[in-house]
Structure 1
Amino acid sequence: MNFNVEVKTSLKKGMLNPEASTIEKALALLNYEVKNTQTINIIKFTIDASDKEEALKQVDEMCQKLLCNPVIHDYEIIISGE
């Protein structure tokens, strides 16, 4: 069965986020005051697995091994489809 996967990764609280800081500063220059800016990365793909639980297990392994650094990133897995 094919499942649509979306993995959202973000820096853990307390980690410096230079991209978010740059966005905040640029918006301030445009006279927009925003605070607590965060950035996330979204990775989307399709995976073939026997069921949703197996798909989740495989994607979690992918996150641990390659898609994110568990030391500095939090991640969320969303699986939809069959």
Structure 2
Amino acid sequence: MPEKTLHPCDAYRIMLRDYPDVLNIEQMCEILGISTKTGYALLKNGKVQHLRIGRFYRIPKAHLLTYLIAFAPDNIAQT
């Protein structure tokens, strides 16, 4: 039986539906289950695309999904 995969559009609607379309650092860290220190490191190292508005980071959910898709089993096998 083939494995079911979650299409990015479905993941966006299902997994992140309780969050606004543009996340702050705390919300991103909550979704990823990481500390804010690690979250800031992801942003500063360019791992997660983001917007910087004044002193604040804003992360569109679509950019967070792009980051997560990089860890999909298909993508891991290719690296």
Fold conserved between structures, TM > 0.5:
no
Per residue, is there more strand in 1 or in 2? 1
* TM, length-normalised to structure 1: 0.24
Per residue, is there more helix in 1 or in 2? 2
Which is bigger in relative contact order (C-alpha 8 A, separation at least 6)? 1
